[in-house]
Structure 1
């Protein structure tokens, strides 16, 4: 039985990496056990670790579901200077998506459900029914 998941990306400069991911997630890390390492719990049981080291070539993308890909594009282009952030969509695919890289070459992907009711169902499934989230 799998009950939790952790994904790790590596960055050459930990202070810059932690600052970059702090902006991406719009909050401080949840756990910093030692120098050169920080973790964010993205969802219950789903963690992203940022570790100082040599990035793996063509790592990722780590895909994150978000409420509004257009709003997030504006925010990230402004705060993180992301240049290549094209939103894609195809009629037969239930999401809009975009993929870009962090400054160390790690792939990051964002997606938004085209049908808002599917997004709400996923939130309720993962986080439980909380009217503030819906």
Structure 2
């Protein structure tokens, strides 16, 4: 039975990577076990690891669910000087989504539920998350 997960991205410069991911995630790391490595718990039991090392080509994207994808895009454009990424939608797909890369080439993205009632159900089902 799977009860927790981690995923890892690599950055060539840990100081720059940590700063970038702190801004991206709007919080400091939850765990720094040693130099060149930091972890953020995104939701209970779901961890993003940022490690200093050789970047893996073609990974991802790791997409994070957000309540307002347009607002998040604007925040990243303002605080991380990112270029505007396209937001996509498709008939019969219950979310809209966008993909972008960090400065090291890791593919990331966001998605937002189109049906806000469904979004609310999903948020509550994740260990009672009410944020």
Query: TM tier, shorter chain?
Result: over 0.9
Q: Distance in 2 between matches of 1:114 and 1:84?
A: 21
Q: Over aligned residue pairs, what C-alpha RMSD do you find? A: 1.0
Q: Distance in 2 between matches of 1:95 and 1:87?
A: 10
- Could you report, residue by residue, the CA deviation over 1:73-128 in whole angstroms, capped at 9, with x for unpaired residues? 10001111111511111122110100000000000010000000111001100031
- Could you report, residue by residue, the CA deviation over 1:43-65 in whole angstroms, capped at 9, with x for unpaired residues? 10000000000110011100100
Task: Show the counterpart of 1:65.
Answer: 65
Q: Does 1:95 align with 2:104?
A: no
Q: How many residues align?
A: 131
TM-score, normalised relative to structure 2: 0.96
TM-score, normalised relative to structure 1: 0.94
Greater than 3 Å deviation, 4+ residue runs: none
Q: Structure 1: any 5+ residue segments left out of the alignment?
A: none
Q: Distance in 1 between matches of 2:121 and 2:91?
A: 21
Task: Show the counterpart of 2:9.
Answer: 9
Q: Does 1:105 align with 2:105?
A: yes
Q: Distance in 2 between matches of 1:63 and 1:70?
A: 14
